[in-house]
Structure formats: structure tokens, C-alpha cells
Amino acid sequence: MILINIYFAWCWFLMGLLSGMIQGLRFHRDDWMGGYNSWPRRLTRLGHIAFFGTGMLNLLFAFTVLLTEIDHDFLTWASPLLIAGAFFMSGICYLSAWRKAFRQLFFLPVLCLVSGTTLFTCALLGHAIQGG
């Protein structure tokens, strides 16, 4: 189950590199996407870096599970929540760059990522208290 987070993380790193490469073709133009401080340009930069940040979160989650050999029911929920949060974060960033109204959906990735991290932290603390 946890291996999927590793596979996902590496796919997400690749997506971050590819999106950065595509955006990098025009970043040198001052007027690209309305200028450096424009909403679309800021949100595409955020979407690009979110690939790396949420990919790293998934990778660290999986490696921590493997390293600590933790086994808890919360992992059944934490794993897909972290993947869903990563997917929604980058996706909603790019959608919001395209149509500003999509910004109303940012609660989805935040809810997924906070919930997944909370469940995992509880499982990890429970494992530590039990002498794991």
C-alpha cells in the first residue's frame, strides 16, 4: 500500500520538472501571463512548486512508514489522502490560474493534506508510545 506513495512521489517530481520546463520557455518575458506579479503567473509558479512539495510529503510519509515499520489502521486513510491532496493542490493551482473562481476549491487539497498528515502523526505517536 505504501509503495504507491513512493511511485506517486516520483511521478509528481517528474511533473514538476516538466511543468517547470514548459513554464521556463517564456519566463524571461516580462509581459508573459500578465507580468511577474499577475495572478495567473503566480498560480502557475505555485502549481509547479506544489508538485515538488507534495511529492516530497508523500515520499517522506512512505519512507517513514518503511523505516519505523509502523502498522496502523490510520495509514489506510493517510496514504490516499496525501495523494489526493497532492493531486488537488497542483491541479487547483493551474485551474485557478486559468479561471480565478477555482480558487474557491483550495479547501480540498488543504483538507486532504491536513487530514492525512494528522492521521499519520497520530499513528506515529501511538507507535512511539507503544515502544515501537
User: Closest Cα partner for 85 from 9, 1, 31?
Assistant: 9
Mean pLDDT of 30-48: 92
Model confidence pLDDT, tens digit, residues 7-16: 999 999 999 9
Average pLDDT, the chain: 95
Query: Considering the chain, what percentage of its residues have pLDDT values greater than 70?
Result: 99
Interval 24-51 mean pLDDT: 91
For the chain, what are the domain ranges?
3-129
pLDDT value at position 63?
97
pLDDT band, residue 132 (cuts 50/70/90): low
- Tell me the pTM: 0.93
pLDDT (average), residues 113-124: 97
- Three-state secondary structure along the chain? CCHHHHHHHHHHHHHHHHHHHHHHCCCCCCCHHHCCCCHHHHHHHHHHHHHHHHHHHHHHHHHHHHHHCCCCCHHHHHHHHHHHHHHHHHHHHHHHHHCHHHHHHCHHHHHHHHHHHHHHHHHHHHHHHCCC
Cα separation, 84 vs 24, whole angstroms? 27
Q: Assign 112 a pLDDT band (cuts: 50, 70, 90).
A: very high
Contact 9, 58 (CB under 8 A): yes
Higher pLDDT, 22 or 32: 22
Give the whole-angstrom CA distance, residue 49 versus residue 53.
6
